[in-house]
Structure 1
């Protein structure tokens, strides 16, 4: 097995940097969801804005939670036919946009939590975003709700940490 002498090994640094840059490029080339506004409050409107989707969107579904369990589906939408099908978690303040985004009007504390979108293009894409809202937590949510971090920022943080540690 190859061993680098001491703490400093240029080959190890190059290999790690190559792997991290490859992962960063792969992650950031995909799509993301941005909250607009970034920190909405109860009573405001928010758009869970989908960006970075390549290809034609054939249809998409939004879910309340971190997965795509059909019991948690808010709605399905087909942009080409302008067809909306409500799911078990549908609420009238949620509106789909043709680009895959979800607009929620007049936020209430029970809107807090994770939202997952599943988009069908030539391939199937999926992304989860957190919607934090100020105020007391409802009893149905855990005391800690993770805040969404963009994959690009996460990879940059890992890359900087790796370079500092080497």
Structure 2
């Protein structure tokens, strides 16, 4: 009787331990399932909130301008870093990686040209645009639960052509400048001719000598001898009378 009772107790304990072990395994499996479902839910939730697009400002681009590519609709609480690519997502085409936390900063890539800069909103700014900047730009945002990718295309045209208004202003300004230059030339030529004419008249006119006897004594020697007056430069002789200068 004792042996039977002891065997019954042992068997009951074994069954109880087995039940407990099975219960623990079931609870562990349930916890794992819950964790997987929670992760899947969070990942799905994150992916559902990454339907973003890239806004390009300004839309019309020409050489020498600056442009900003800003992602719109990115959850800043889920994603902590981003990578900008030019062309494809190959690492050889990486422009830079921008980190928001824990230490914000920018790590430049192989195709960085010193004209690109990132921002805390995962934006990309390019200054001094060139025609070879045209192409596809790809943004990949990354976080603990996954990543999301979006791309956009830039078209950079050459120097903007002059408008009709600008051309007309240039023509009018040129005509005004030519008119002023022509007027100044005419005034200069007229002044030069007038000055030349005056100097010519001065050199061709005979010098004027006053009909007065020079200072000094005048002696009449003979009525037949003429008298001449010498001008200041001693080159003008004018017959005055029958007297002559001593």
Which TM-score tier does this pair reach, normalised by the shorter chain? 0.5 to 0.7
Residue aligning to 2:89: 68
What does 1:50-69 align with in structure 2 at a 5 Å threshold? 50-56=71-77, 57-65=79-87, 67-69=88-90
Deviation at residue 123 of structure 1 after TM alignment: 2.7
Tell me which of 33, 49, 55 is aligned to 2:70.
49
Deviation at residue 84 of structure 1 after TM alignment: 1.1
Residue aligning to 1:123: 146
Separation in 2, partners of 1:40, 1:110? 12
User: So what's the TM-score if we normalise by structure 1?
Assistant: 0.61
Residue aligning to 1:113: 135
Report how many residues are paired. 110
What are the Cα deviations for residues 118-146 of structure 1, in whole angstroms up to 9, with x where unaligned? 1013330101110011139xxxxxxxxxx
Are the structure 2 counterparts of residues 96 and 29 from structure 1 closer, same or farther at C-alpha, using a change threshold of 3 Å?
Answer: closer
Tell me which of 91, 101, 104 is aligned to 2:123.
101
- Say which SS state the counterpart of residue 128 (structure 2) adopts: coil
- Say which SS state the counterpart of residue 54 (structure 1) adopts: coil
Residue aligning to 2:58: 37
Tell me which of 145, 149, 155 is aligned to 1:132.
155
Judging by fraction of residues, say which structure has more helix.
2
Residue aligning to 1:82: 104
Structure 1 runs (4+) greater than 4 angstroms displaced: 26-29
Are the structure 2 counterparts of residues 28 and 44 from structure 1 closer, same or farther at C-alpha, using a change threshold of 3 Å?
Answer: farther
User: So what's the TM-score if we normalise by structure 2?
Assistant: 0.42
- 1 or 2 for the larger relative contact order (CA 8 Å, sep ≥6)? 1
Larger radius of gyration: 2
Separation in 2, partners of 1:58, 1:114? 23
What are the Cα deviations for residues 33-71 of structure 1, in whole angstroms up to 9, with x where unaligned? 011001121101100111100242311110111x31000
Deviation at residue 27 of structure 1 after TM alignment: 9.3
Q: Structure 1 unaligned segments of length 5 or more: list them.
A: 1-25, 137-166
Once superposed, what is the RMSD of the aligned Cα atoms? 2.2
